Amino acid sequence: MQVQRISEETATISAGLKPLDRFVALGAHMLHEGQVVRVVGAAGGTE
């Protein structure tokens, strides 16, 4: 995935993200291999 721009509130992804791909939007630096995470839908949308 290619990030075009990041601001305090948003990030713009310009390439490499397909419709059903999932990614960590906040706190990725604190994750460890095999750690359980909670998946949430998009803000204002559905998963």
Distance of CA 45 to the CA centre of its chain: 14
Total-model pTM: 0.50
Provide the token pair at 13.
């992804």
13, 6 Cβ separation under 8 angstroms: no
Instruction: Count, in order, helices (H) and strands (E) of the chain.
Output: 0, 2
Per-domain residue ranges for the chain? 1-47
- Token pair listed for 5: 């721009």
pLDDT in tens, 11-47: 889 999 898 888 887 788 899 999 998 888 765 445 4
Average pLDDT rounded to a whole number, residues 2-12: 87
| 20-24 LR contacts (CB < 8 Å, sep 24+) | none
